[in-house]
Amino acid sequence: MASGSLTSGIILLATLLVAVNAHNWAFGKCPRMTSVNNLAVEKFLGVWYVIEQFDTGSRCLLLNYTRVSETQLRVTKVRQFQLLDRVGIDHTNSYSGTLDMPYGHDLGRLRVKWPLNLAGKGDYVIFDTDYTTYAGIYECQPITTLMHRKSAAILSRTPTLAPEFVNRIKRLLISNGVDTHDFDVIKHEGCRTRVEADFNVHVDSDTFRN
Protein backbone atom coordinates (compact mmCIF):
# COMPACT_ATOMS: atom_id res chain seq x y z
CA MET A 1 0.00 0.00 0.00
CA ALA A 2 1.29 3.46 -0.88
CA SER A 3 2.10 5.97 1.87
CA GLY A 4 -0.63 8.33 3.06
CA SER A 5 0.79 11.44 1.37
CA LEU A 6 1.42 9.62 -1.90
CA THR A 7 -2.06 8.10 -1.90
CA SER A 8 -3.64 11.48 -1.17
CA GLY A 9 -1.70 12.91 -4.10
CA ILE A 10 -2.93 10.12 -6.35
CA ILE A 11 -6.54 10.76 -5.30
CA LEU A 12 -6.09 14.50 -5.91
CA LEU A 13 -4.71 13.77 -9.39
CA ALA A 14 -7.67 11.49 -10.08
CA THR A 15 -9.99 14.32 -9.03
CA LEU A 16 -8.36 16.61 -11.58
CA LEU A 17 -8.54 14.05 -14.37
CA VAL A 18 -12.20 13.26 -13.71
CA ALA A 19 -13.03 16.98 -13.56
CA VAL A 20 -11.60 17.36 -17.05
CA ASN A 21 -13.04 14.18 -18.56
CA ALA A 22 -16.58 14.50 -17.16
CA HIS A 23 -17.36 17.14 -19.78
CA ASN A 24 -17.72 16.73 -23.53
CA TRP A 25 -16.54 19.27 -26.06
CA ALA A 26 -18.70 20.59 -28.87
CA PHE A 27 -18.65 23.31 -31.49
CA GLY A 28 -20.77 26.44 -31.25
CA LYS A 29 -22.47 28.15 -28.34
CA CYS A 30 -23.99 26.50 -25.29
CA PRO A 31 -27.59 25.38 -25.89
CA ARG A 32 -30.14 27.53 -24.06
CA MET A 33 -31.65 25.05 -21.62
CA THR A 34 -35.06 25.78 -20.13
CA SER A 35 -34.82 25.81 -16.33
CA VAL A 36 -37.43 24.62 -13.83
CA ASN A 37 -40.11 27.30 -13.48
CA ASN A 38 -40.24 28.76 -9.95
CA LEU A 39 -37.73 26.29 -8.53
CA ALA A 40 -38.41 25.63 -4.83
CA VAL A 41 -34.78 25.74 -3.76
CA GLU A 42 -35.30 24.50 -0.19
CA LYS A 43 -37.13 21.42 -1.46
CA PHE A 44 -34.32 20.71 -3.93
CA LEU A 45 -31.52 20.86 -1.35
CA GLY A 46 -30.03 17.73 0.15
CA VAL A 47 -28.49 14.52 -1.17
CA TRP A 48 -29.10 13.18 -4.68
CA TYR A 49 -27.72 9.95 -6.18
CA VAL A 50 -26.25 10.38 -9.65
CA ILE A 51 -27.84 7.66 -11.78
CA GLU A 52 -26.20 8.61 -15.08
CA GLN A 53 -23.68 11.28 -16.06
CA PHE A 54 -21.67 12.24 -19.12
CA ASP A 55 -18.30 10.43 -19.41
CA THR A 56 -17.23 9.69 -15.86
CA GLY A 57 -14.74 7.42 -14.15
CA SER A 58 -16.65 7.62 -10.87
CA ARG A 59 -18.94 5.28 -9.00
CA CYS A 60 -21.01 5.77 -5.82
CA LEU A 61 -21.43 9.38 -6.98
CA LEU A 62 -23.63 11.63 -4.84
CA LEU A 63 -24.40 15.34 -5.06
CA ASN A 64 -25.19 17.22 -1.85
CA TYR A 65 -26.70 20.69 -2.20
CA THR A 66 -26.59 23.08 0.76
CA ARG A 67 -27.37 26.76 1.13
CA VAL A 68 -24.56 29.26 1.76
CA SER A 69 -26.58 32.49 1.52
CA GLU A 70 -29.68 33.91 -0.11
CA THR A 71 -27.86 34.05 -3.44
CA GLN A 72 -25.41 31.15 -3.23
CA LEU A 73 -25.47 27.38 -2.78
CA ARG A 74 -22.73 24.79 -2.33
CA VAL A 75 -22.68 21.55 -4.30
CA THR A 76 -20.44 18.72 -3.09
CA LYS A 77 -19.65 15.60 -5.10
CA VAL A 78 -18.92 12.50 -3.02
CA ARG A 79 -17.56 9.52 -4.95
CA GLN A 80 -15.07 6.75 -5.50
CA PHE A 81 -12.86 6.44 -8.57
CA GLN A 82 -13.12 3.19 -10.50
CA LEU A 83 -9.43 3.18 -11.42
CA LEU A 84 -8.31 3.53 -7.79
CA ASP A 85 -10.73 0.80 -6.73
CA ARG A 86 -9.14 -1.53 -9.29
CA VAL A 87 -5.66 -1.03 -7.83
CA GLY A 88 -6.85 -1.58 -4.28
CA ILE A 89 -6.80 1.97 -2.88
CA ASP A 90 -9.58 2.16 -0.29
CA HIS A 91 -10.74 5.75 -0.65
CA THR A 92 -13.45 8.35 -0.94
CA ASN A 93 -13.25 11.78 -2.56
CA SER A 94 -15.36 14.88 -2.08
CA TYR A 95 -15.23 17.94 -4.32
CA SER A 96 -17.14 21.15 -3.52
CA GLY A 97 -18.11 23.96 -5.85
CA THR A 98 -20.21 27.10 -5.48
CA LEU A 99 -23.48 27.86 -7.23
CA ASP A 100 -24.42 31.51 -7.66
CA MET A 101 -28.05 32.52 -8.27
CA PRO A 102 -27.66 35.73 -10.29
CA TYR A 103 -30.86 35.71 -12.35
CA GLY A 104 -33.46 36.94 -9.90
CA HIS A 105 -36.54 34.74 -9.86
CA ASP A 106 -35.04 32.24 -12.34
CA LEU A 107 -33.63 30.16 -9.48
CA GLY A 108 -33.08 27.05 -11.58
CA ARG A 109 -30.50 28.87 -13.72
CA LEU A 110 -27.23 29.15 -11.82
CA ARG A 111 -23.54 29.80 -12.34
CA VAL A 112 -21.10 27.17 -11.07
CA LYS A 113 -17.45 27.53 -10.06
CA TRP A 114 -15.43 24.37 -9.50
CA PRO A 115 -12.02 24.96 -7.85
CA LEU A 116 -10.11 22.90 -10.44
CA ASN A 117 -11.74 24.64 -13.42
CA LEU A 118 -9.28 27.34 -14.44
CA ALA A 119 -11.66 28.66 -17.11
CA GLY A 120 -13.92 30.15 -14.45
CA LYS A 121 -17.67 29.90 -14.04
CA GLY A 122 -20.10 28.02 -16.25
CA ASP A 123 -23.86 27.68 -16.64
CA TYR A 124 -25.58 25.19 -14.33
CA VAL A 125 -29.24 24.53 -15.09
CA ILE A 126 -31.72 22.49 -13.08
CA PHE A 127 -34.10 21.72 -15.92
CA ASP A 128 -36.44 19.15 -14.38
CA THR A 129 -37.36 17.79 -10.94
CA ASP A 130 -40.23 16.67 -8.76
CA TYR A 131 -38.01 17.21 -5.67
CA THR A 132 -38.75 13.80 -4.11
CA THR A 133 -37.85 11.32 -6.88
CA TYR A 134 -35.80 12.64 -9.80
CA ALA A 135 -33.96 15.65 -11.23
CA GLY A 136 -31.98 16.62 -14.32
CA ILE A 137 -29.04 19.05 -14.37
CA TYR A 138 -27.01 20.45 -17.25
CA GLU A 139 -23.65 22.22 -17.19
CA CYS A 140 -22.13 24.19 -20.05
CA GLN A 141 -19.17 26.53 -20.34
CA PRO A 142 -18.06 28.50 -23.41
CA ILE A 143 -14.33 28.00 -23.97
CA THR A 144 -14.00 30.15 -27.07
CA THR A 145 -16.51 31.75 -29.41
CA LEU A 146 -16.39 28.51 -31.41
CA MET A 147 -16.45 25.80 -28.72
CA HIS A 148 -18.01 24.83 -25.41
CA ARG A 149 -17.73 22.03 -22.86
CA LYS A 150 -20.84 20.39 -21.45
CA SER A 151 -22.08 17.75 -19.05
CA ALA A 152 -25.43 16.44 -17.83
CA ALA A 153 -26.59 14.23 -14.98
CA ILE A 154 -29.71 12.30 -14.06
CA LEU A 155 -30.38 12.42 -10.31
CA SER A 156 -32.48 10.37 -7.91
CA ARG A 157 -33.25 10.53 -4.21
CA THR A 158 -32.57 6.78 -4.05
CA PRO A 159 -29.76 4.60 -5.53
CA THR A 160 -32.01 3.49 -8.41
CA LEU A 161 -34.47 5.30 -10.66
CA ALA A 162 -37.35 3.97 -12.72
CA PRO A 163 -36.71 3.98 -16.50
CA GLU A 164 -39.69 6.28 -17.07
CA PHE A 165 -37.91 9.11 -15.25
CA VAL A 166 -34.55 8.41 -16.92
CA ASN A 167 -36.23 8.51 -20.33
CA ARG A 168 -38.14 11.67 -19.42
CA ILE A 169 -34.92 13.54 -18.62
CA LYS A 170 -33.20 12.31 -21.77
CA ARG A 171 -36.15 13.43 -23.90
CA LEU A 172 -35.94 16.91 -22.39
CA LEU A 173 -32.22 17.10 -23.17
CA ILE A 174 -32.81 16.00 -26.76
CA SER A 175 -35.58 18.58 -27.17
CA ASN A 176 -33.06 21.25 -26.12
CA GLY A 177 -30.49 20.08 -28.66
CA VAL A 178 -28.30 18.02 -26.31
CA ASP A 179 -26.99 14.61 -27.46
CA THR A 180 -27.61 11.95 -24.80
CA HIS A 181 -25.31 9.22 -26.16
CA ASP A 182 -22.51 10.19 -23.76
CA PHE A 183 -24.25 9.11 -20.55
CA ASP A 184 -22.51 6.55 -18.34
CA VAL A 185 -24.45 4.54 -15.75
CA ILE A 186 -23.22 5.10 -12.18
CA LYS A 187 -23.05 2.05 -9.90
CA HIS A 188 -24.08 2.41 -6.24
CA GLU A 189 -22.99 -1.00 -4.97
CA GLY A 190 -20.29 -1.68 -2.39
CA CYS A 191 -19.91 2.02 -1.64
CA ARG A 192 -17.58 3.15 1.16
CA THR A 193 -18.19 5.98 3.62
CA ARG A 194 -15.56 8.45 4.83
CA VAL A 195 -15.47 6.59 8.16
CA GLU A 196 -14.93 3.21 6.51
CA ALA A 197 -12.33 4.20 3.89
CA ASP A 198 -8.58 4.31 4.55
CA PHE A 199 -8.12 7.56 2.64
CA ASN A 200 -10.39 10.58 2.23
CA VAL A 201 -9.45 13.59 0.12
CA HIS A 202 -11.61 16.72 0.05
CA VAL A 203 -11.11 19.48 -2.53
CA ASP A 204 -12.77 22.89 -2.30
CA SER A 205 -11.93 26.55 -2.91
CA ASP A 206 -9.62 26.62 0.14
CA THR A 207 -7.51 23.61 -0.89
CA PHE A 208 -4.93 25.57 -2.88
CA ARG A 209 -4.81 28.73 -0.80
CA ASN A 210 -1.67 29.58 1.14
100 within domain boundaries = yes
Helices and strands, counts by H and E, the chain: 4, 11
The residues with which 24 forms a beta bridge, in sequence order, are 150
Q: How many CB atoms lie within 10 A of CB 176?
A: 15
209 within domain boundaries = no
Q: Are 173 and 138 in contact (CB under 8 A)?
A: yes
Amino acid 12: pLDDT:
54
208 within domain boundaries = no
Task: Count structural domains, the chain.
Answer: 1
d(CA 167, CA 173): 10
Length, in residues, of the chain: 210
Q: Which domain holds residue 174?
A: 4-203
174 within domain boundaries = yes
> Which CATH number belongs to the domain containing residue 136 in this structure?
2.40.128.20
φ/ψ of residue 41, rounded to 5: -60, -45
pTM of the model: 0.85
pLDDT along the chain (210 residues), means of 10: 53 50 68 94 99 90 98 95 76 92 96 86 97 98 85 98 98 94 93 83 72
47 within domain boundaries = yes
First to last CA, the chain: 30
